[in-house]
Amino acid sequence: MNVLTRVLAALRTVAAVALLAMMLVTIVDVTMRSVLNELVLGAVELVQLALVATVYLALPETLLRGEHITVDVVDQALSPTALRRLRRIAAIVTTLLVVALAWRTIPPALDTIEIGDLTTDLGISLVWYWLPLVVGAVAGAVAAVVYAVGEFADRSAAGSAPGSAAGHAADPGDA
């Protein structure tokens, strides 16, 4: 397991912890409201923070594994060479978009530090909400580049990245 894989797996673990926290905060909120008729101050803000962490910290690993939904209807009709070319084009286009995304999330995140906005109930700095987004986007950009390099190194039509062969590796609830 190389360094990048380990770092992205660690980010995914943080995302999983955030999801668990999201569940527990909501449960405590519901219990307090039902049993003690009291609201947990800032439960909504904590859930929102957990959601941002869940989504963006898990994103880089899915990019490294090529798990994003792709329609592979043309595969049967194409030669292995043509298919390999399409896979490479898709990897380049994905990389360009994710790199642009990472680049453009940094300025508004820096603005937040300067302005110093806080949430209403708990007074959490909005920087904490931007942090998982920026970390996820930058790590995602690195993951997309590594995935694209892997596609160019791979000579087979099916591709070597885990999850890419099926074309529909992840089930987004359709889902």
Partner 1 sequence: MATEWIGLLSIFAIVALVLFRIPVAVAMGLVGTIGYAIVDDWSAALNRLGNTPFELAEGYSFSVVPLFLLMGAVAARSGMSGDLFRSANAMFAGRRGTVAMAAVGACAGFGAICGSSLATAATMSRIAIPEMRRLGYDERLAAGAVASGGTLGILIPPSVILIVYAVIAQESVALLFAAGLIPGLVLTALHVVVIWALVTRRPELAPAAHRQPDWRERLRDVAAMWQMLVLFVISVGGIYVGLFSPTEAAAVGCLGAIALGFATRRIGIRAVVESLGETVRTTAVLFFIVIMAFIYAYFLVLTRLPQSLVEFVTALGWSPLAVMLLVIAFYLILGCFLDAIGMILITVPVFGPMVTGLGYDPVWFGILVVLVVEIGLITPPVGMNLFVIRAQQPDISIATLYRGVLPFLSAGAILIALLLAFPRLALWLPQLLYG
Task: Pick the closer one to partner 1 by CB: 20 or 149.
Answer: 20
- Which whole-number Å values give the CA distances from 159 to 71, 91, 169, in the listed order? 15, 11, 13
The answer to the question of residue 142 lying near partner 1 (CB under 8 A) is: no
Task: Pick the closer one to partner 1 by CB: 5 or 62.
Answer: 62
Question: Which residues within the stretch 11-50 sit at the binding site for partner 1 (CB under 8 A)?
Answer: 12-13, 15-16, 19-20, 22-23, 26-27, 29-30, 44, 47-50
Residues 19 and 93: beta-carbon distance below 8 Å:
no
The candidate with the shortest Cα–Cα distance to 121, out of 29, 39, 22, 41, is: 41
The answer to the question of residue 151 lying near partner 1 (CB under 8 A) is: no
Q: Which residue bears the tokens 């820096």?
A: 110
Nearest approach in angstroms of CB 2 to partner 1 is: 19
The candidate with the shortest Cα–Cα distance to 129, out of 151, 113, 141, 153, is: 113
Half-sphere exposure of 12 (CA within 13 A, CB side): 15
Of the residues 6, 41, 80, 104, which one makes contact with partner 1 according to CB under 8 A: 104
What Rg value do the Cα atoms of the chain yield, rounded? 20
Q: List interacting residues with partner 1 (CB under 8 A).
A: 12-13, 15-16, 19-20, 22-23, 26-27, 29-30, 44, 47-52, 54-59, 61-62, 67-74, 86-87, 89-90, 93-94, 96-97, 100-101, 103-108, 126, 129-130, 133, 137, 166-168, 170-175
